Amino acid sequence: MLVSEAKLLLHMALDVVHHLDIAQETRELSTAEFQLRRRLKRRILGLAVIERTRKRQASRIVNLREGDANTKFFHLKANARKRKNHIQRLQKDGGWAATHEEKGNFNSGTL
């Protein structure tokens, strides 16, 4: 499994911030620790944006690949929709129109 550098840095920064939060529960953080925590929090936001963008691009690539693989499925669905929307025959006053010409004349009242 490949792990991006941004994801690795994100998890490392989250881990350090988590440890600083635990330390803050029992004691006051030093100025250096507080500054580090603040810088890491800003860095986490940036890394999260990078990781979200990377995942979005990766999902687009997967969707394109799957879309190419699903063309048979797409055409089956499109053809089924076409058959469903097709009017097989019309009935009016006891008569039936089945061909395209008969259906066209059906609207004008002749059969």
pLDDT per residue as tens digits for the range 15-74: 999 999 999 999 999 999 999 999 999 999 999 998 888 888 877 776 666 666 667 777
Q: Please name which of 106, 83, 80, 105 lies closest in space to residue 93, comparing C-alpha atoms.
A: 106
- Residue 21's pLDDT is 94
What phi and psi, each to the nearest 5 degrees, are found at residue 55? -65, -40
| Boundaries of every domain in the chain | 1-69, 71-111
- Residue 44's pLDDT is 93
**Encoded tokens for 70:** 């699903």
- Residue 79's pLDDT is 85
Mean pLDDT of the region 73-101: 78
Q: Please name which of 104, 99, 78, 79 lies closest in space to residue 89, comparing C-alpha atoms.
A: 99
- Residue 12's pLDDT is 93
Confidence of residue 111 (pLDDT cuts 50, 70, 90): very low
Please give the CATH topology (third level) of the domain spanning 1-69.
Answer: Methane Monooxygenase Hydroxylase; Chain G, domain 1 (1.20.58)
Specify the 3-state DSSP secondary structure of 111.
Answer: coil
Specify the 3-state DSSP secondary structure of 95.
Answer: strand
- Residue 95's pLDDT is 79
